[in-house]
Structure 1
Amino acid sequence: MKFKSGDILLGIFVIGVIFLVIIPLPDFILSLLMIINISIAAMILLSALFSKESLDLSLFPTMLLLTTLFRLGLNISSTRLILQNGYAGEVVQAFGEFVAGGDIVIGAVIFIIITIVNFKVITKGSERVAEVTARFTLDAMPGKQMAIDADLNTGFIDETQAKERRKKIQDEAAFFGAMDGASKFVKNDAVVGLFITGVNIVGGLIIGMVMKDMAFMDALQKYTIVTIGDGLVSSIPALFISTGTGILVTKTNTDDGMSSIILKQLVYSPIVLYVVGITLVALGLFTPMGPLVTFPIAIVWFVIAFRFSNKKKVSAIESAIDEKDEQAEEIRKPENVISLLQVDPIELEFGYGIIPLADVNQGGDLLDRVVMIRRQIALELGSIVPIVRLRDNIQLAPNAYSIKIKGVEVAKGEILFDHYMAMNPGYVEEEIDGIQTMEPAFGLPALWITEMQREKAEIKGYTVVDCPSIIATHLTEVIKAHLHELLSRQDVKTLINHVNETHSTLIEELTPKLLSVGDIQKVLSNLLKEGISIRDLVTICEILADYAPTIRDTDVLTEYVRQGLSRAISKKIFMEGTNQVITLDPAVEQQIMEHVQHTEQGAYVALDPKTIQSIVMQLKKEIAKLTTIGLQPIILTSPIVRIYFKQLTEQYIPDLIVISYNEIEQSVEIQSIGMVSIA
């Protein structure tokens, strides 16, 4: 391991500071070290003042520790010389005689005032600001990390930029956490300074009067002046350091220099300076202060206000010109607003109370669940699921969440944090205590229960789920229900390209010769709308290639594709054994077919409202018979009628399963237990 010369010097400095406590120093060397101490303190103060952000001085807590240790070492060395000789070098003597005016009382008062200001005002305030900043920085970490993950998922930033932002967040948390503890150094340093000063005075009096037979006033004059000088030499650098600490913990990130920002914010408007100047003139005219003192300062404020006013006028003109230029540029370049028009396909917004569920650092796994949802739906339905954007929304209730599809809210829910949702599967008779609610995904009655009730509920047979599972299940069902809307032409093109890698002949025959990408998209969307998987895209494309030369209607093509996927459809809908279904009266089917209207945009059923109402009412009666005995309602129709009956009932019963005879595999046993007819 190689050591740089700077590292060696730093090590020597730290060891030397510790040895200051042990090794006596000549007064000349001590004076040099005190001047160096004042210089270092001034450097730290100015560095904190002119830094653009707090992390520019990320090692400030370490510097605070080293300078405090250095200053205490000098205090101990000077104490040794004061008690031995009554003299601790020219620097200490100068502070005692020049700064304090050679007067014990004045020097003591100045020293006490500086110490109190340092301890009670600057240090105490800095300590509190550091503590609050550290707390808020840590609290804000989850939201910031989620924002980074969201920007990364949407492509606004790349992985390198995301790593840099995460590192900056971690550095900020570490810095302000360290500053919260390091500010105690300055506070305790002020206390120790007072203690050392008191010890020096008492010890000097004892040595002068007992060991050197000096009179009380002579011993007091000799040792107290030097002690006060030593205290001032230590207090001035300590004041510099504590002021630098306060500036650093109260600093906000900015690109401009602090001086210009302070001037802009202090003198927000020239009117401020004019009013101040007029006030000073009034004080000079109507009070004993006199114009000799107040008028010169008032003139200075008037001059600065006049110049500042002219500067603001020029800036306003320049801003107006720049704004017009920008507007003209925007008009000439309309593509600049394209980024503002982007709508996220899927959004999950939540209140701040749900943030812990999404924050990995707090043990949340909601982000991982969203990734698994996309994979699960892709495997189940064979479609590409867009990226789900997660973001917190302070306008929502703390424990509420909202699911948006293409910027429009389609579902919402609310959880009870630190609780579980218990649902009766239908056969549990024994009740449990809890807060009544509704399961958001399926609208089933449920109860909120505590952690202590969870095991009891599971033993009794209740289905118990945690809050992340509730949100994940709701999001899954919403995505499935709207997946046909989310399937874009670009997604279809990606799927076709994937098939083209192994079945190039099929794709060359199908598109663009027979069907466009948009036509294939409509067929796939029709399938997804009724929950049919499009994962077997090769079979779908084979069927489309067979029928597309003679059929252009995408709805009719969808029916042929459904018949070709009969095995998959039967497997999904029908269970083993005999399956109960509801059939249509041939008269109803005949009436539907007689009222089918064909247009260039497709076919639709043009029945009169009274007939439609009658059919729907009879259908609901038959469905109620199945649901009361716990069976899923399935409507069986002839192939030619299925699509039109589905269109007819979709508005009234959107989740109704409508299947044709040709979509049932031969091995499936069917039993009709009801028939829809016209009353």
Structure 2
Amino acid sequence: MSNTAAEAASNNGFSLTGLGTPVLLFMMLIMVVMPLPPLALDIFFTFNIALAIIVLLVSIYAQRPLDFGVFPTVLLIATLLRLALNVASTRVVLMKGHDGTDAAQEIASEADFYGAMDGASKFVRGDAVAGILILFINIIGGFAVGVLQHNLSAGEAAHNYVLLTIGDGLVAQIPSLLLSTATAIIVTRVSGSQDVGNAVGEQLLSNPKVLAITAALIGIMGLVPGMPNLVFLSLAALLGSMAYLKSQPEKTTVEEAPAETSAPLPVENKELSWDDVSSVDEIGLEVGYRLISMVDRNQGGELLPRIKGIRKKLSQELGFLVHAVHIRDNLNLSPNEYRITFHDVTVGQGEIHPGRDLAINPGQVYGELDGIATKDPTFGLDATWIDNSQRDDAQAKGYTVVDCPTVIATHLSQLIKNHAHELIGQDGVQQLLDKLAQSSPKLVENLVPNVLSLGDITKVMQNLLEDGVPIRDVRSIAEALAESGGKGQDTDTLTSRVRMALGGTIFQTINGIENEMAVIVLDSQLEQILQGATQGNIGGMEPTLIENMINQLRQASAQLEAEGKTPVLLVASHIRLFLSRLLKSRMDNFYILAYEEIPASKNIKVVATVGNQAA
């Protein structure tokens, strides 16, 4: 017979294995519908208590919750058994309670024995409702049966049935208490390699000094007349012996190695591994202790959903998945302070005042506000922390009013935009290419690594993001690189080619849907001087040339911003990169475009020319 046939025969054959649970359930059904003799009831009560103790001990020594994976089933069966016993015992109380004090005395002795457990029975869970119902049924029903059916006096009936009910309830509650304790242990088990017994033993009995002091105190108490001397002195001797053994250094046997192969013993018991090296957070937010409520959902914190919304919005705008923000408290910060980090390097910080709003001066307001003067942490504008009741007044005076979560969220959003090129690496670029390969497999296959390496493509992507150009249009970027690229190509040149291909995207990012863009240009003489500087000829650059040019650009930029327009400097392509790097740290919210990057369908309007005075 084949193995498969044998297995089939075994599966189809009759086996006694696994019948224990169905038999127990069937017996519980019998207990509910049929009366049981007192002896059988005692046996089942004892079995119920033993089962609860076994469950408790297994829960204590389980190292992981899954080590006792059948616990829910066992708990259900044990609870059903306890309820069935309650029903059966109720039947006995109502049928035999009139027999008098002999039966009552037996239950009363059990009540005395388990009386100390009465307070702990409050920990029982859902089945406590059934227990309470059974309690009232036993008392009220038993009293009625005793008086009306068995002609007992009211006092005698109350004495017998109440006493029986108390004993029955306490006996039933002992397993409930044990099972509830087991439930608490199993659901609060912390993953680890030790059970509760070992952990407690190590923590309580590992210090020989503690054991020695305890032994001395117990020994002194054992010498007091009237105390259980033998027990105290025996325990003191045991603790003293343990303290002595714990204080002795462990002996390590080391085999003598041959002289030619002898090696020093390792200093550390455990070798270092990569698990000992902490990882760096791509994006981190640290908060002082007074700001913890803002990032705690349980306390109604509003910042977490806003950060999630920021990540989604910026991922769509920039064209790549923005990393999750790791938020943690930092006691080294002042209570109201927060800090934003990229790759564990601080890129921004600020201080906010929970319970207040920040009124920001956008440049033209009509009056001052009472509050705490400060600077907007995102853009450095003058601002004031005001009471919530002043919000309407501040808005009427022209202030922009935001709450505390908005202050942090706006600051984080702006920093991510400014440092987007630092937040994407080769893994992120590879994911973009993998996504593109789903629709254009040949394009990606021919590009990497035949035309360009992944590192070169990543550098181009970073250059684009550093210039404020989104990389959403991965297809156009890949096609431009495939047409212009080649191994050994300068990534700056490749970036310029890609920018030309993305001219429409760049124009719309800056100017929106308007067809005409207001721009600043350089006069021809200044452009020639700058072109010479890019080629290594700096003889024509006077010391004050750059300073004068920047001052003129700032004046022209301020004029455009006052008109609600984005400042744009339009230059020849061969000096765009030079000026971009020169002005990046000196001009905020300022774009530098090459003539070739303006789409043919768009128009430009020159509003200022820089260079006459600068040159």
Q: TM-score, with normalisation over the residues of structure 1?
A: 0.63
Matched-pair contact (CA < 8 Å) for 1:527–1:534: yes
Q: Which amino acid aligns with 2:560?
A: L
Amino acid at match of 1:576: E
1:425-458 alpha-carbon deviations (Å, 9 max, x no partner): 999999999999988766787999999x99x999
Mark the CA change 1:113 to 1:93 in structure 2 (over 3 Å): closer, same or farther: closer
Taking the aligned partners of 2:31 and 2:351, their CA distance within structure 1 comes to 60
Q: Residues of 2 paired with 1:430 and 1:46: CA distance?
A: 77
Which consecutive residues of structure 1, in runs of 5 or more, have no partner in the other structure? 101-109, 128-178, 331-335
Q: Match of 1:373? A: 313
- Among 98, 119, 136, the residue aligned to 1:84: 98
Match of 2:461 among 507, 518, 524: 524
User: What one-letter code is carried by the residue in structure 2 that aligns with 1:562?
Assistant: R
Equivalence for 1:592: 530
**2:556 matched to which residue of 1?**
622
1:313 deviates by 3.6
Pair 1:607–1:236, CA change in 2 (3 A): farther
Q: CA 1:487 to 1:208, structure 2 compared with 1: closer, same or farther past 3 Å?
A: closer
Deviation of 1:543 after TM superposition, in Å, equals: 5.1
How far apart are residue 385 of structure 1 and its match? 2.7
Which residue is equivalent to 2:83? 69
Counterpart for residue 117 of structure 2: 118
- Describe how 1:52-451 pairs up with structure 2 within 5 A: 52=62, 56=68, 57-58=71-72, 62=76, 65-86=79-100, 111=111, 114-115=114-115, 117-120=116-119, 122-124=120-122, 126=123, 179=125, 181-182=126-127, 188=132, 196=139, 231-232=166-167, 235-246=170-181, 248-249=183-184, 252-253=188-189, 255-285=193-223, 287-289=225-227, 294-307=232-245, 309=247, 313=250, 324-327=268-271, 330=272, 336-337=273-274, 340=277, 342-347=279-284, 351=292, 353-356=294-297, 369=309, 372-373=312-313, 376-377=316-317, 381=318, 383-385=319-321, 388-395=323-330, 403-411=340-348
Q: 3-state DSSP class of the match of 2:417?
A: helix
Query: Aligned-pair distance for 1:649?
Result: 1.0
Deviations 1:63-86 (A, max 9, x none): 575355345334433433544333
CA spacing shift, 1:77–1:516, aligned 2, 3 Å:
closer
Residues 283-322 of structure 1 deviation map (CA, whole Å, 9 limit, x = unaligned): 3445454855643343333334445555x846999xxx89
Specify which of 481, 492, 496 is matched with residue 559 of structure 1: 496
Alpha-carbon RMSD: 5.8
1:524 to 1:80, Cα distance in 2 relative to 1, 3 A: closer
Within 5 Å, give how 1:503-582 maps onto structure 2. Answer: 504=442, 508=446, 516-536=453-473, 540=477, 552-574=489-511, 576=514, 578-582=516-520
The 5 Å alignment of 1:5-24 reads 9=23, 12-13=26-27, 15-19=29-33
Counterparts in 2 of 1:316 and 1:233: CA distance versus 1, 3 Å: farther
Match of 2:45 among 37, 42, 46: 37
1:399–1:73 distance in 2 versus 1, CA, 3 Å: farther
Taking structure 1 as reference, are residues 75 and 427 closer, same or farther at Cα in structure 2, changes over 3 Å only? Answer: farther
Q: Quick one: structure 1 residues 404 and 357, their matched pair in 2 at CA, closer, same or farther if it must change by over 3 Å? A: farther
1:592-640: CA deviation from partner (whole Å, max 9, x where unpaired) = 3343365xxxx99996764433332222222222222222211122333
| Paired AA for residue 354 in structure 1 | V
Letter in structure 1 aligned against 2:552 = Q
Q: Assess, with a 3 A threshold, how the Cα gap between structure 1 residues 280 and 6 changes in structure 2: closer, same or farther.
A: closer
Instruction: Read off the aligned partner of 1:356 and give its amino acid letter.
Output: R
The equivalent position to 1:641 in structure 2, one of 575, 581, 584, is: 575
1:49 is aligned to 2:47: no
Aligned length: 566
- Is the Cα contact below 8 Å between 1:428 and 1:460 reproduced in 2? yes
Moved more, 348-357 or 645-654: 348-357
Change (3 A) 1:604 1:241: farther
Counterpart residue number, 2:4:
none
616-625 vs 511-520, greater mean Cα deviation: 511-520
Q: Secondary structure at the match of 2:570?
A: strand
Instruction: Report if aligned partners of 2:97, 2:160 keep a CA contact under 8 Å in 1.
Output: no
Contact 2:320 2:472 in 1 (8 A): no
Matched residue type, 1:123: S
* Percent of aligned positions that are identical: 25
Contact conserved, 2:286 with 2:329, CA < 8 A, in 1?
no
Identify the structure with the greater helix proportion: 1
2:566 matched residue in structure 1: 632
Closer, same or farther in 2 for the Cα pair 1:550/1:207, shift >3 Å?
closer
Say whether the 8 Å CA contact 2:357–2:386 is kept in structure 1: yes
Alignment-derived partner of residue 7 in structure 2: none
Change (3 A) 1:74 1:434: farther
- Distance of aligned partners of 1:616 and 1:536 in 2 relative to their CA distance in 1, 3 Å threshold: same
CA drift at 1:267: 2.8
- Residue 40 of structure 1 and its aligned partner are, at CA, apart by 0.6
CA shift digits 1:105-128 (9 cap, x unpaired) = xxxxx846843x3233x234x47x
Contact 1:496 1:507 in 2 (8 A): no
- Offset of 1:486 from its aligned partner? 2.9
Q: Is the 8 A contact 1:436 1:447 kept in 2?
A: yes
Which has the larger displacement, 73-82 or 367-376? 367-376
CA displacement, residues 381-427 of structure 1 (integer Å, 9 cap, x when unaligned)? 5x4435x2244424389999765433334356799999999999999
The answer to whether the 8 A contact 2:32-2:88 is kept is: no
Residue deviations 1:138-180 (CA, integer Å, cap 9, x gap): xxxxxxxxxxxxxxxxxxxxxxxxxxxxxxxxxxxxxxxxx4x
Higher relative contact order (CA 8 A, sep 6+): 1
Query: Measured at CA, do residues 590 and 253 of structure 1 come closer, stay the same or move farther in structure 2, by a change above 3 Å?
Result: same
- Secondary structure of 1:673's counterpart equals strand
Between 1:42-51 and 1:458-467, the stretch displaced more is 458-467
* C-alpha contact 1:68 1:189 (8 A) present in aligned 2: no
- Check 1:577–1:394 CA distance in 2 against 1; reply closer, same or farther (3 A cut): closer
Asked if the contact 1:54–1:248 (Cα under 8 Å) also holds between the matched residues in 2, the reply is no
Unpaired runs of 5+ in structure 2? 1-17, 255-264
The Cα offsets for residues 210-235 of structure 1, whole Å up to 9 and x where unpaired, read as 69xxxx9xx89xx9799868855653
Contact kept in structure 2, 1:82 and 1:88, CA below 8 Å: no
Contact 2:45/2:171, CA 8 A, preserved across alignment: no
TM-score w.r.t. the length of structure 2 is 0.69
Contact 1:413/1:440 (CA < 8 Å) preserved in 2?
yes
- For 2:296 and 2:593, locate their aligned partners in 1 and report how far apart those are by CA, in whole Å: 43
Residue matched to 2:259: none
**Structure 2 CA distance for aligned equivalents of residues 589 and 407 of structure 1:** 41
For each residue in 1:520-553, what CA deviation from the matched residue of structure 2 results, as whole angstroms up to 9, or x when unmatched? 4333322221122445556555655666679954
Residue in 2 that maps onto 1:487: 424
Shift of 1:658: 1.1
Change in CA separation of 1:660 and 1:297 when aligned onto 2, cut-off 3 Å: closer
Compute the displacement of 1:657 (Å): 0.6
Task: Decide whether the 8 Å contact of 2:566 with 2:589 is kept in 1.
Answer: no
